[in-house]
A and B are shown apart, each in its own frame.
Chain A
Amino acid sequence: MTRPKYAITRYTTANRINHWINAGLFVLLLLSGLSMFHPMLFFLSGLFGGGQWARAAHPWFGVFFMLSWIGMIIQFWRVNLPAREDIAWSKAIVQVVTNDDEHVPPIGRNNSGQKAVFWAMTLLIPVLFLTGLLIWEVYFGEATSIGVQRVAVLIHSLAAIAAILVWVAHVYAAIWIRNSVRSMTQGYVTPGWAWHHHRKWFWDLASGQRDKTTPRKHP
């Protein structure tokens, strides 16, 4: 892959493969799941070969998504641990969303918005997985009582809606903060990008304090 001279690696090849497996499965889950949620969206089941196929495929997408997310947890939990700087950054959220970056406090590798996405998904995905098992008619239809399944399907729906809202915010933020998408497709950011958006992380790299979780090329 061709990179500019001073490119900084933000996401390793393993990070990126894992992320895009996740992304693909999430989109498949979203489309097949919404087709069974609202009548106006039932047409989405056609993308999977019809309602029966959407119903049959959805839980399997979910199983692989859970596995894939475990990979994400292993790779990203450390960089998403809360830090003191998160409070100041969160207080400046108005400045953040209005691109008033001069008045946004410097932050490390991830800001608290990114951390919130990670931890929200880390909470929601296991909830979706477990409640999904309870309503997986083919294999677990008789495993629990109908009363339990009713509650499970309600929690599953609510958690799915929450996850979709988090996902919309995540996708939009990636589009909004230019060149973030490239960091997850080609893996690198420019020094100016790190300087602008994650200045503490930038200084960590520049001062040679090698962050164990951040493989990089020395500029």
Chain B
Amino acid sequence: MSDLQSQDYVRRSASTMTPPVARSHEDQVAKLIDVSRCIGCKACQSACMEWNDLRPEIGHFEGSYENPMDLGPSVWTLMKFAEYENEQGNLEWLIRKDGCMHCEDPGCLKACPAPGAIVQYANGIVDFISDKCIGCGYCVKGCPFDVPRISKKDHKSYKCTLCSDRVSVGLEPACVKACPTGAIMFGSKSDMTHWAGERIEDLKSRGFENAGLYDPKEVGGTHVMYVLHHADKPSLYSGLPDKPRISPVVEAWKGIIKPLAVAGIAFAAIAGFFHWITVGPNEITEEDEEEAARALRGEREPDPEEKS
């Protein structure tokens, strides 16, 4: 996305200073995807392409309803189809709309080295500011959901913006607008959580006793949430992580090592400087040259320990 709302950042990648927060009095938003009401029509995928002017390359049929087979720089949302045989031996077709989860604690933003290339607005949306992206791929390593994709054309990273441009002017995201069954809802996070609660009650009353809300606490909650009939096993839904978290490897790399390393390098340089002004340079003397000259004239033999 472009940089539309520079005064309401709550997080900004690779920034040591507080981002502008003057306009941060905003409700947290959330998109609620009710998997139990999805019919897999892909209207959301089409709406996403249309609103965001994305045209992925035409691919090949791979023997699956999934089309294309993976998220991409021009595929920001994708219906994923999983066939699951439940305990009663019945087939369940679990269809999940995949895309950026808009984590409250975004791993992509934590990993990003380019100042301001990834931002989080006060409403919770995590957005890539593409002109600041340098194409390093660190966001891919930071993301617990395997969402960002780097374009081979412009070497920039792309993902769902939660239609931050639409949301900023009071519209719902394009996928929400297009969904014919109301499986995708949008509003304040508290409203969506409340609404999900009603849906989950309903599902439980119809025999899905493990129905629940997917709003993983390990990443501080997400601004895209799912109502799942099998909330005890999110991985049934085409590999939705059971316990998503920013990898400890990324946490170490972008946490303690970063300041320690810079301090260590600075310390080494300063230690050198102070060695110079205390011990000082090691210079040879006239005597060294004279001794060496005598040795070269054969007037001196090496001491035993000086022989190799």
Contact = CB atoms under 8 A, between A and B. Distances in A.
Secondary structure of the A contact surface, majority rule: helix
Contacts of B146: 146
A47 interface: no
A37 interface: yes
A99 interface: yes
B139 to A, nearest CB: 10
B264 A101 contact: no
Contacts of B114: 42, 51
Given A6-B296, A165-B264, A177 B282 contact: yes
B279 A97 contact: yes
B306 A200 contact: yes
B135 A191 contact: no
A141 interface: yes
Interface in B273-294: 275-276, 279-286, 288-293
A38 interface: yes
Interface residues of A, number: 66
Nearest to B113: A36
Contacts of B5: none
A206 B115 contact: no
Interface size class of B (residues with CB under 8 A): 35 or more
Interface string B173-210: 00000000000000000000000000000000000000
A106 B306 contact: yes
B136 A99 contact: no
Contact of B15 (A39, A41, A50, A51): A39
Contact of B141 (A146, A176, A200, A201): A146
Q: Select the residue from A56, A151, A168, A204 with max chain B CB neighbours within 10 A.
A: A168
B51 to A, nearest CB: 27
A186 to B, nearest CB: 16
Given A168-B265, A203-B308, A99 B280 contact: yes
Q: Select the residue from A39, A54, A201 with max chain B CB neighbours within 10 A.
A: A39
B219 to A, nearest CB: 16
Contacts of B16: 39-40
Contacts of A52: 134-135, 155
B21 interface: no
B306 to A, nearest CB: 5
Interface string A29-57: 00000011111111001000011101110
A83 B282 CA distance: 24
B24 interface: no
Interface of B: 14-16, 113-115, 132, 134-138, 140-141, 146, 150, 155, 247, 249-250, 252-253, 257-259, 261-262, 264-265, 268-269, 272, 275-276, 279-286, 288-293, 295-296, 302-303, 305-308
Given A52-B135, A149-B140, A153-B141, 13 more contacts: A37-B262, A83-B308, A141-B140, A161-B257, A165-B264, A172-B276, A175-B272, A195-B292, A195-B295, A201-B308, A203-B306, A203-B308, A206-B296
Q: Please give me the 5 A-B residue pairs with the lowest Cβ-Cβ distance, nearest first.
A: A192-B289, A51-B134, A191-B292, A137-B137, A192-B288
